[in-house]
Amino acid sequence: MFVEDAAQYGTAAADIYAAYHAMPNSSSAADNWNVMQALEQALRARSGARFVDLGCGAGARTKEIGAMAGVAFALGVDHSPEQLALARESAGPANCHFAFGDLIALGHGMRDRAGGSAGVELQLGTFDVALMAFVTSHAATQDDLDAMMRAAASFLVPGGEVIVIDVHPRLNLAPFPASDRYALLKSFVLPARHTGEVPPFTKIRTTFVVSQGQLSVEDYFHDVRSWEAAMDAAGLSGLTINDCSAPPGFAPGFWDAYIHPDHPSGCSQAAVLRAFKSGAVSN
C-alpha cells in the first residue's frame, strides 16, 4: 500500500501506521524517546510552559506532553480533519486542545488556507516550545521548508524553542539495513547509477512493516545547508543537530543498526534539531 500524503490515510493505512507506532521495538520507540528527552530538557526551564505540537496527527504525543509537570497549555495543530477528529475523540488532559492549521500556508501568510480561525491565529506568538516530529520531511522544496520553519517561529514567544526530529541531514547513500527489527525499511528514490552524497530534496521512500501489512510513503531529504537556510529565513538561531541515542530497556546492541549504522556517515537515521527565536541561547 502506497500513500503519497500521510494526511489522507484511509482506514487500512491508518491501522498499519498505528500498529507500527504501537510496536515496542519499532523505530518510533527510539525516535519518541529521543524527542521526549529534548522536550523534558526544554520544558524544565519553563515553569507553566505553553507547548504546541505542529503536525500532531491523532494527538497521542500532544496529550502525553500536556500531562507533563509544568505544562500549562498544550495545543496540537494539523491540516488533516480526519486526524484531528481522532485526536478529539479520545480523552486527554484538560489543558490539551486541537486546531486546524496548514503550516506551509501559515509560513506564507496565507491565513485563509491555513484555517482562518481564531483557534490558531489567536495562539500565534504565545508558545514557549514548538515540536515538529517527522513533519518537515514533507517539505518538497526549500521554499516549503522555509515556510514550515517560519510557521513554527510564528507560534513562539521571543526566546522560544523549536524542536524538530526528522531524517538525519548528514545521511549518505549507504542503504538502511533491510531488517524487520525496527518495522521499517528506507531507501532513496534516485536516478539510475547515481553515486555520492544524497542531493537535498531527494525523495525518500519509507515503508512501515507490521503484521497487518505494509504502508509506504514518500518524503524528502534535507541536508545541513537546507536546514541552515530555513532557520535563517525563519529568524531562528542557535541551530544544533544531535544524533539519536539508544533508549534504555533493550538488549545491548539492539539499536546499533538504527543509532550507529555501519556506513561512512556514522550518524543515526534520525536527528534532533533545536533552534531558538530571537537568538536565545540553548540550555
Query: Mind spelling out the 3-state secondary structure of 161-226?
Result: EEEEEEECCCCECCCCCCCCCCCEEEEEECCCCCCCECCCCCEEEEEEEECCEEEEEEEECCCHHH
Closest CA to 180 of 217, 210, 144: 210
Residue 2 has pLDDT above 90, yes or no: no
Q: State residue 13's pLDDT score.
A: 79
Report pLDDT digits (tens) over 202-222. 998 888 888 888 888 899 999
CATH fold, domain 24-169+222-277, is Rossmann fold (3.40.50)
Residue 9 has pLDDT above 70, yes or no: no
Q: Give the whole-angstrom CA distance, residue 26 versus residue 30.
A: 8
Residue 184 has pLDDT above 60, yes or no: yes
Domain spans, the chain: 24-169+222-277
Residue 280 has pLDDT above 50, yes or no: no
Report pLDDT digits (tens) over 46-59. 889 999 999 998 89
Quickly state the pLDDT bin for 119 (edges 50, 70, 90): low
Question: Per-residue pLDDT averaged across 48-77, rounded?
Answer: 93
Question: Per-residue pLDDT averaged across 176-196, rounded?
Answer: 74
Residue 96 has pLDDT above 50, yes or no: yes
73-82, 169-178, 255-264, range with greatest mean pLDDT: 73-82
User: Model-level pTM?
Assistant: 0.90
Residue 265 has pLDDT above 80, yes or no: no
